[in-house]
Amino acid sequence: MPDLVETFGGHFMSPVADPYTAYARLRAHEPVKPLDLWMGPGYVITRYDDVRTVCTDPAVFSSRSNANGIGLVMGHTILEMDGKEHTKHRSIIAPAFVPKALRSDLPELIERMVHELIDQFAADGAAELVAQFTSTIPIRVIAYVIGIPMEDYRTFHHCGLDIIGFTDDPPRGYAAAQHLVEFLRPLLARRRAEPTGDLMSKLAHAEVDGERLDDEEIFSFLRLLLPAGAETTFRLIGNLLYALLDNPEALEEVRADRQKVDWAIEETLRWESPVQYASRETTTATTLSGTELPAGAQLLLALGSANRDEQHFADAARFELHRRPEEHFAFGFGRHFCAGAHLARLEARTAANALLDRLPHLRFAPGAERQIVGLAFRSPTALPVVFNRA
């Protein structure tokens, strides 16, 4: 594994196989670790209790630090907003992702998309589920929610990957952000003139303090929703399938009792969080785990480390279907809890149930290499499987 300090400093998208050994060492000996981060000197926070403290005290730990990170390419988004500004802007998009909204035509649409993909390989007896399944579903779903023509989802997908990887290749990230704006501009103009029921139309006609959002504010929303709504969910689905395939007894238990799919999803979110980090900045001098932090300190919350903190999760490195863990941080915590968490769970649940219904004796392909990798975002690079032909 590359040295963790070097990885944090310059290669945030590196395909690290095991950051958890280093996290365990940091939790035990240096839970508030000073590091040179991409946005300047800062600290990596690795313990569960410290991460929870930071997430639940926005007065001391501001989200404005995201302006110096992902905000450089996404623009001014709710990720970097605090207080009333955050509340007002979140209220615009949150209603589109609450469970009530997801009980309209979206569940049926997701199920249809999932089965259309499975139709393409169900008779083959083998598949590579990342390329043929997990990487496709969420981008199609978020495209539908936003109001992107379905035939353009691949362009949408590539832009998202380049945007979230901007710390490793800034010019490419900025170019992707601009390309996305030019792609969205005529669509937004049409929604302003002729609104439909999609999220882009709602943004085009939403008001904050009596004023409509301007184009740049809307583009910033959409640059955020693209990776947040697609890239993270495809990693969740991949991690869920990996966890079940790597634990055949759990797989068979879930196959027999589908209510336990939700158990598997929550344990997957804890065990291999798709998004591994969140950013904050201290507004005043404070202390975490005995370490004094000055005002203006940049903090990187290691969510994946907190979710494997042995003080809260026994045998934390193990995927345990019956764990029923206390709250994890895979979707953040507090005011910045992910607005799309319900949608992500719905997609993961639908995908898992459909595969179990359609692919008898689903299992990893014998001898095939498979691995979950990543530092900022974690998921398997491939899921080679075999099954009984439909």
Q: How far apart are CA 148 and CA 223, in angstroms?
A: 13
Angle between helices 232-245 and 137-146 (to 10 degrees): 150
The alpha carbon of 309 is separated from its chain's Cα centroid by a whole number of angstroms, namely 20
Extract the tokens encoding 77: 């988004």
Contact criterion met (CB below 8 Å) for 226 and 70: no
Task: Give 212's strand partners.
Answer: 207
The alpha carbon of 126 is separated from its chain's Cα centroid by a whole number of angstroms, namely 28
Q: How far apart are CA 134 and CA 355, in angstroms?
A: 11
Q: How far apart are CA 244 and CA 184, in angstroms?
A: 38
Which parts of 207-313 are beta strand (E)?
A: 207-208, 211-212, 277-282, 286-288, 291-293, 298-302
The alpha carbon of 230 is separated from its chain's Cα centroid by a whole number of angstroms, namely 8
What CATH number does residue 15 fall under?
1.10.630.10
Q: Is 216 exposed, middle or buried (0-12, 13-18, 19+ CB in 10 A)?
A: exposed
Domain span holding position 280:
4-386
Taking alpha carbons only, the member of 113, 100, 168 closest to residue 354 is 113
Residues in contact with 298: Cβ distance below 8 Å, sequence separation at least 6, in sequence order: 37, 39, 40, 41, 42, 43, 65, 68, 279, 281
Note the pLDDT of residue 175: 84
Total number of domains constituting the chain: 1
**Mean pLDDT for each consecutive 10-residue tract of the chain (390 residues)?**
48 80 96 83 95 94 72 61 68 68 78 96 97 90 84 69 69 81 90 89 82 82 77 93 97 97 97 93 96 94 96 95 85 74 93 97 93 93 92
Angle between helices 215-226 and 170-193 (to 10 degrees): 120
Residues in contact with 30: Cβ distance below 8 Å, sequence separation at least 6, in sequence order: none
Q: How far apart are CA 157 and CA 151, in angstroms?
A: 12
Phi, psi of 96 (to 5 degrees): -75, -15
The alpha carbon of 159 is separated from its chain's Cα centroid by a whole number of angstroms, namely 16
Note the pLDDT of residue 2: 42
Extract the tokens encoding 44: 């990596």
Contact criterion met (CB below 8 Å) for 270 and 14: no
- Please tell me the pTM assigned to this model: 0.89
